[in-house]
Amino acid sequence: MPKLSSSFILFIISSALLVAGWLYASNKAILYTENKLAQVEKKHGPEVAQRLIKWKSFVAQNQDKSDKEKLRLTNDFFNKQLLWVDDKKLWKQKDYWATPLETLIKNAGDCEDFTIIKYFTLTSLGVSIEHLKLTYVKALKYNQAHMVLTYTESKHSVPLVLDNINKKILPASRRKDLKPVYSFNGEGMWLQKQKKLGKRVGNSSRIRLWTELTEKMSKELL
């Protein structure tokens, strides 16, 4: 993860936010087609296919839980299963946002990949995207850019932080090691005010990597 700088932040914001992409599928909890599963098994083997089946079973079995339980279960599910590996080693690229399928095939990813797969899993579990944001922060201990998933129950609530570094879900007010920069989801982009929701500044289709991600996910459903 690169050190945060003013040019880095300006680049991210200027390149910034959505495509509706995969939402129609997540609302129906369609994680992948049977054809895609067969392709994955043929190319990567039965062990990898079983990871996809386990993911689908997890989503099917937890539809009736409360939002808070869904957060805890999803955070634990991926933090325990996935190995952290940076993009240069895993994808031979400086910055690559993997789809949930790609992350499960590798069984690894960096902070963005952990956040992305948690986000789409929770939307597939029926958690409204209005409560969820992919949030860029500065990890003060490491002086690095970092991404976490945040859940805000209501407009005036302090967000809960789902993270792959500190694996315990905590209110943002207790994460003194994180400085919020900006956040986004399928509806928009917000410049962060410390521990608050922030000011909305744009549409998420402006983020190039997010747009590429949702386009890849749409193709995976074919």
The predicted structure's pLDDT at residue 218? 87
CATH code of residue 165: 3.10.620.30
Question: Is 205 contained in some domain?
Answer: yes
How far apart, in whole angstroms, are the C-alpha atoms of residue 192 and residue 194?
Answer: 6
Whole-prediction pTM value? 0.83
Q: Which residues contact 154 (CB under 8 A, 6 or more apart)?
A: none
The domain total for the chain is 1
The predicted structure's pLDDT at residue 53? 97
Q: Which residues contact 88 (CB under 8 A, 6 or more apart)?
A: 94
The amino acid sitting at 59 is: V
Phi and psi at 209, nearest 5°, equal -65, -35
The Cβ-side half-sphere exposure at 74, using a 13 Å CA radius, reads 32
Question: Is 77 contained in some domain?
Answer: yes
Tens digits of pLDDT across the chain (222 residues): 555 554 444 444 433 333 333 443 434 567 999 999 999 999 999 999 999 999 999 999 999 999 999 999 999 999 999 999 999 999 999 999 999 999 999 999 999 999 999 999 999 999 999 999 999 999 999 999 999 999 999 988 999 999 999 999 999 999 999 999 888 887 666 565 544 445 555 555 557 888 889 889 988 876
Question: Is 96 contained in some domain?
Answer: yes
Domain that holds residue 160: 6-220
Question: Is 199 contained in some domain?
Answer: yes
The β-bridge relationship of strands 83-84 and 108-109 is parallel
The predicted structure's pLDDT at residue 11? 40
Token readout for 65 is 């839980």
The predicted structure's pLDDT at residue 188? 65
The predicted structure's pLDDT at residue 12? 44
Question: Is 85 contained in some domain?
Answer: yes
Question: Is 1 contained in some domain?
Answer: no
